[in-house]
Amino acid sequence: MGLDINVLIADWSWLGEVPPRERLSRLRDAWYADETGLWDRDAPEVEGDWSWPRGLYSSFFAIYEFRDTCGSFKAHFWAGHRWESVRDHVDPLVRAGLDTLLLGLIWNGPDGEAQHTDPGFFCDDPGVFYGVLLARSPDTVRELAAVWERVRPRLGKLREAFTEHAAEPGGWVGSFDEFATLLEEWGHVLTEAGRRSWGVVGLSE
């Protein structure tokens, strides 16, 4: 699990106006633009907050900097693994909500076959699609954000079960607080994207 992940929200009116085959390159070109993109910016990254491009692209996309992950996908992978350990021991309503949320974002599911990309978001050609870990349209984002709002008030009920069945002190997302924090951050991403009617993209570079 040496993957990294960069989670972006993107203006669908800007990204969706070009054909699916051109969307990923449009996003990457804007991200890496010498003067106006996000690559090698002088300003330090602020964990738990957004990084916005400058100038031409300043209103089209942003990257969310997750806390305590160093940009690695490991935290997200292990959050899914911890959920597998605890899900059979929680309230069915909470289980159904978190199943939906995590299957939509980062968890591969009990059979390991969950897909985290909406059909037609990007081109299906593997040569063009390379590095995409997550691609959710504004409609899917709104659905997942609504699920999050239903789950969020009940999250604390997982603490006892997580501590008993999933905790691993010192491991990635090894405590309930770390698990809950990561979910809160994903909730923040979904809420912000949903408020703007934007899409959510996860890229590995």
Asked if 190 and 134 touch (Cβ cutoff 8 Å), the reply is no
The arithmetic mean of pLDDT across residues 115-131, rounded, is 85
Q: Of the ranges 6-15, 37-46, 132-141, 185-194, which one carries the lowest mean pLDDT score?
A: 37-46
pLDDT value at residue 39: 67
The arithmetic mean of pLDDT across residues 160-174, rounded, is 95
**40 CB burial (10 A radius; 0-12, 13-18, 19+):** exposed
pLDDT value at residue 5: 94
The arithmetic mean of pLDDT across residues 84-97, rounded, is 95
111's tokens: 């059979």
Delimit the domains of the chain by residue range: 6-203
**84 CB burial (10 A radius; 0-12, 13-18, 19+):** middle
Q: Which of 107, 112, 181 is nearest to 144 (CA)?
A: 107
